[in-house]
Structure 1
Amino acid sequence: MYEFITRSLIIILCFIMLLVPAQADHLDNIDQLVSDTSAGLSALGGKTGTLMSKEEDFPAGTSVCDWTAIALALSGSQENYPRYLQNLQKYVETNYEKNGGLDHIKSTPYHRIALTALALGSNPREFGTKSDGTPIDLVADGTYAFAGNSIGDQGLNGWIYALITLDAENTQISGDVKFTREDMIHAIISAQEPDGGFGLIKGKSDVDITAMALQALAPYAQKYPLVVDHALAYLSGEMNEDCLYSAYGTENAESSAQVILALCALGIQPETDMRFCRGENTLLSGLKRFHKEDNTFGHTQEDAKGDFLATAQVLLALTALQKLYSGNGRIFDFTDYTGPNLKPDHGIHYAIALFILILIVLIIITRKRKKHAQNNR
């Protein structure tokens, strides 16, 4: 009987050990890389999992902090998102009360905060209340009902993120509005430069803006295939032999991250599409050059420490790649999204289970040996 139990427990033990992820090179495993980068980004604030609670050091409503919150939430990192949402809503309400809105020239603050609210599981169309008691609609105020002269007054990125925000939940526009979805699409495609790229201002293409434009146009790629192909050709041509991109003469992680986001939005696998490979080098292998020992990413390869915004953008790109490989759609598609999909750390559970089983096996074997010794006296 003891022999049967011992053998059964050993079989169960071996089965559980098979379930434990192999400790292979984590940089070659996209899931592990997402998890490690998420933990590294969170730990930049001190202790992992506490970044969203640091109100003074990590103020809600600022660009870097909001994009970091988006990246952490979409990657499934354990954080205090309710606290950040509370502070973010307070920031929005304060600006609406004092200034009548977030900005009267730049539309992107509306887009960024709307996307942050979505990523953290809130409703950007009812994000706090105005002084008259009506709900604050960040989507409307930043897109079709923008109070400024034009969504694009700040540059092409205004039109780009207006369209991304509008399509994040497939918001339908009805009635007589100031800016239509078609206005946004037209503003973007008409800004394409002769070389296929897009720029913040007319006359100069930029890798980051081109990648962002493709992210916005991704849902309409079949309608504008020539625009998309021309932009992809530009991005391919700008990539060097190490599969890296330069901005203002400096190779940087953010540009590569934006290109990966664009390719994933279009359903293109960055690691296999030959337009974005140079021999054995790929966009992902190029991105790893910016990786730091603490699982953050630097803005440049020479940076001694990880950078908040660079790591956040890389994490978004890796999460988009993860979604692409698992068939879960575009990273900024929130139509079936309910909030951060927090991933529990099963490692401790595996360790406890293994320890208990090993302990049981040892106890049984010890008892069996004692009984055997007694019988042979």
Structure 2
Amino acid sequence: MLTKRMLNRLMVMIVLLGQLVLPMQNSATAAETNKASIAVQGKEAALLKKKEIEIQEDTDALSLLQETVGSENVKTVDSDYGPMITEIKGLSQEGTFAWAFYVNGKQADVGAHKYNVHADDEILFKYESWNTASLSVFGDTDTGTILDSKKYEINEDTTALTLLKNAVGENNVALKETDYGPMIIGINGLVAEDPYYWAFYVNGKLAEGGAHTYKPQAGDQISFKYESWEQEEKDSGDEQGSQKDKDSPDEGHIVNVNQAVDNLIAYIMEKGVSSEWEAIALHHAGKKIPAGYLDSLKAKVGSSNGEFRIVTDYERMVLGVKAAGGDPTSFAGYNLIEKIYNNERMTNQGTNGVIFGLLALNSGDYNIPVSAEWDQEKLVDYLIENQLDTGGWALYGTTGDPDITAMALSAIAPYKDQEEVKTAIENAVNWLTKQQNANGGFETENGETSESTAEAIIGLTAIGKNPAGASFTKGMDSDVQAASSSSAQSENNLITNLLSFQNEDGGFAHLIGEESNDIASAKGILALVAYQNFVAGKASVYELDRVTVDDTAGDKNGQQGSGGQTQSENESKDGNRLPDTATNTCNLMAIGALLFLTGLFLFFLNRRKRA
């Protein structure tokens, strides 16, 4: 049995232990600091050597850069995807050079302002050229791969031959002069002997001219392969009699597309409608768009008093409002159409504002006054005047971009019978097919993405061009084809390429192998519905006045609130998963508090007994 003296000692020990636990944990918490590294690489030298910086949970990469080098040394411009870095420490984007953003050695697929920096991240801002082409060299079965695919900077004077010489060394390329110019007979000591020769490929397709005459375009995939004439003749013979008209809709694809659309709609309705692309797709699919989506747009307009910094905010909102059954000319007390045609910042975002402007103004029958700053004719003229000589369009600069080019096709599609527009469309289609790779998609700085393929499908169907037709059907890489047991897999087009990004949950990935991504899924559903419309002989998905919506579809989804979105405890507001930074501090503090209270209880109990 405890004596009074023992009880007093026990009480004192408990109180002291409780008081000690709290400051110990506070000290431990203060000592736990998250750090990440940041570096800035210029064209020729480092502008900021790798430096470790303490970060908070909500630190984004752009803020980290501004904090490290000084916000006055970082310049940005508004873009459709948020602030875009144009200059760091006096080095600004020029020509084909711009600032790229890398995380842990991999180019990020979100803007620096959206990426939440995690502990131990390695952040790199790198000044590099958009104007690159990749090169690979494949030898015989004994030699194997001579040069793995690697990107090289190109200019207007670069040819495929000079690219090869620069990559493997001029002395390692053996040439023979012919009536048609220099012919490659050896690379790295592997000399071509009949029936073998060095074949030259551009984007998975055997080139028509010589390597000394072909000038690579940005994004091109150049390859040299040691091949046999005998095998080529055999392959050519096997293909005789098997050709068919691939420029008409292929009903064989539509079965797979229909199933993919059903799965993707289920995925979107489960997570909630959150973008105008999803709303447009559901509109054309005859599905009811949850009321919460339109409510969320009204709240957004109201909270900003109808004022947005960038014109694409108005333009994309018009598309979403129209698709959801609202009136863009009188929405939440504002005329969103007027906000577009009288916008002074139409060209501040390069071609983006103009492209989305045309899509928005043509989404319905709107009255555009003669006094308007911009109308459809002015917007079309701007795009025609800013088309590149190559046939593509760029957001900024002189390097064509597959996404922007495809979006421009969607925008000018209603005017395709005009002579100038018709020529522009033909040039753009020719440029796009040259950019397409052997997998049927497009190589970008971030790799082969589903969004680029989706944009191409949307743009081509808008102008009445089959994305699964002969022009956009490519032969699979010979090594991959040899390993394939199905002859049907030897050809890839935009449709088969896009379907390859769909995951088991029904959503689409940004890159193959990644988890489903909201943006990729939104673009994916719009592209597949666009293809359904094309096969059915219907209009572009951006024409929103011709569809009847099934009001009985998805009743429960109409009660989802603001788009029906849910967010897990470990996700940030922009959808990025937050770092797992929790410790046992709270638990230990609770134990300390409990011990302290227990000590107090024993203390008063003892006093009461004495009394």
- Secondary structure, counterpart of 1:140 in structure 2: helix
Identify the residue that residue 332 of structure 2 maps to in structure 1. Answer: 128
Residues 458 and 526, structure 2, Cα contact 8 Å, conserved in 1: yes
1:331 and 1:159 map into 2 onto residues whose CA distance is: 18
Shift of the 326–341 alpha-carbon distance from structure 1 to 2, 3 Å rule, reads farther
Please say if 1:83 is aligned against 2:287. Answer: no
1:165 to 350, 360, 370: 360
Deviation of 1:249 after TM superposition, in Å, equals 4.5
Residues 284 and 547, structure 2, Cα contact 8 Å, conserved in 1: no
Residues 160 and 213, structure 1, Cα contact 8 Å, conserved in 2: yes
2:269 to 33, 42, 45: 42
Please say if 1:113 is aligned against 2:317. Answer: yes
Residues 34 and 319, structure 1, Cα contact 8 Å, conserved in 2: yes
Structure 2 unaligned regions, length at least 5: 1-251, 476-490, 555-611
Residues 75 and 316, structure 1, Cα contact 8 Å, conserved in 2: no
Deviation of 1:341 after TM superposition, in Å, equals 3.6
> In the TM superposition, what are the counterparts of 1:179-218 in structure 2 within 5 Å?
179-218=374-413
- Aligned residues with identical type, % of pairs: 29
Shift of the 262–342 alpha-carbon distance from structure 1 to 2, 3 Å rule, reads farther
Shift of the 239–176 alpha-carbon distance from structure 1 to 2, 3 Å rule, reads same
1:27 and 1:239 map into 2 onto residues whose CA distance is: 22
What is the CA deviation profile of residues 14-58 of structure 1, one whole-angstrom value per residue up to 9, with x for unaligned ones?
xxxxxxxxxxx9984332221111112333x2xxxxx25xxxxx6
Residue 197 of structure 1 aligns to which amino acid in structure 2?
G
- Secondary structure, counterpart of 2:304 in structure 1: helix
Identify the residue that residue 295 of structure 1 maps to in structure 2. Answer: 506
Deviation of 1:237 after TM superposition, in Å, equals 0.4
Deviation of 1:236 after TM superposition, in Å, equals 0.3
Residues 42 and 72, structure 1, Cα contact 8 Å, conserved in 2: no
Answer 1 or 2: higher relative contact order, Cα 8 Å, separation at least 6: 1
Residue 246 of structure 1 aligns to which amino acid in structure 2?
E
Moved more, 226-235 or 87-96: 87-96
Residues 38 and 315, structure 1, Cα contact 8 Å, conserved in 2: yes
> In the TM superposition, what are the counterparts of 1:362-373 in structure 2 within 5 Å?
none
1:323 to 525, 533, 547: 533
Residues 278 and 526, structure 2, Cα contact 8 Å, conserved in 1: no
Deviation of 1:172 after TM superposition, in Å, equals 3.9
Deviation of 1:202 after TM superposition, in Å, equals 2.7
Computed over aligned residues only, the root mean square deviation of the Cα atoms, in angstroms, reads: 2.1
Normalised TM-score (structure 2): 0.45
Shift of the 26–227 alpha-carbon distance from structure 1 to 2, 3 Å rule, reads closer
Identify the residue that residue 145 of structure 1 maps to in structure 2. Answer: 342
Residue 324 of structure 2 aligns to which amino acid in structure 1?
L
Deviation of 1:286 after TM superposition, in Å, equals 0.9
Identify the residue that residue 145 of structure 2 maps to in structure 1. Answer: none
Residues 254 and 532, structure 2, Cα contact 8 Å, conserved in 1: no
2:495 to 284, 307, 325: 284
Deviation of 1:79 after TM superposition, in Å, equals 4.9
1:281 and 1:179 map into 2 onto residues whose CA distance is: 41
1:202 and 1:171 map into 2 onto residues whose CA distance is: 32
Structure 1 unaligned regions, length at least 5: 1-24, 46-50, 53-57, 59-64, 130-135, 346-377
1:244 to 441, 447, 453: 441
Identify the residue that residue 64 of structure 2 maps to in structure 1. Answer: none
Normalised TM-score (structure 1): 0.71
1:36 and 1:326 map into 2 onto residues whose CA distance is: 20
1:229 and 1:261 map into 2 onto residues whose CA distance is: 16
- Secondary structure, counterpart of 1:185 in structure 2: helix
Deviation of 1:175 after TM superposition, in Å, equals 2.8
1:314 and 1:290 map into 2 onto residues whose CA distance is: 9
2:365 and 2:417 map into 1 onto residues whose CA distance is: 17
1:239 and 1:125 map into 2 onto residues whose CA distance is: 40
- Secondary structure, counterpart of 1:278 in structure 2: strand
Q: Which protein has the bigger helix share?
A: 1
1:196 and 1:326 map into 2 onto residues whose CA distance is: 29
- Secondary structure, counterpart of 1:199 in structure 2: coil
- Secondary structure, counterpart of 2:434 in structure 1: helix
Identify the residue that residue 55 of structure 1 maps to in structure 2. Answer: none
2:511 and 2:540 map into 1 onto residues whose CA distance is: 27
1:231 and 1:259 map into 2 onto residues whose CA distance is: 11
Residues 68 and 308, structure 1, Cα contact 8 Å, conserved in 2: no
Identify the residue that residue 7 of structure 1 maps to in structure 2. Answer: none
2:303 and 2:354 map into 1 onto residues whose CA distance is: 26
Residues 160 and 212, structure 1, Cα contact 8 Å, conserved in 2: yes
1:67 to 261, 269, 277: 277
Larger radius of gyration: 2
Identify the residue that residue 427 of structure 2 maps to in structure 1. Answer: 230
Residues 281 and 541, structure 2, Cα contact 8 Å, conserved in 1: no
1:288 and 1:337 map into 2 onto residues whose CA distance is: 25
Deviation of 1:160 after TM superposition, in Å, equals 0.5
Q: How many residues align?
A: 286
Residues 280 and 541, structure 2, Cα contact 8 Å, conserved in 1: no
Identify the residue that residue 363 of structure 1 maps to in structure 2. Answer: none
Residues 73 and 341, structure 1, Cα contact 8 Å, conserved in 2: no
2:253 and 2:263 map into 1 onto residues whose CA distance is: 8
2:354 and 2:267 map into 1 onto residues whose CA distance is: 32
1:309 and 1:269 map into 2 onto residues whose CA distance is: 24
2:307 to 69, 78, 101: 101
Identify the residue that residue 544 of structure 2 maps to in structure 1. Answer: 334
Identify the residue that residue 237 of structure 2 maps to in structure 1. Answer: none
- Secondary structure, counterpart of 1:194 in structure 2: coil
Residue 527 of structure 2 aligns to which amino acid in structure 1?
A
1:29 and 1:195 map into 2 onto residues whose CA distance is: 34
1:191 and 1:175 map into 2 onto residues whose CA distance is: 24
Shift of the 335–90 alpha-carbon distance from structure 1 to 2, 3 Å rule, reads same
Q: Which protein has the bigger strand share?
A: 2
Deviation of 1:319 after TM superposition, in Å, equals 0.6
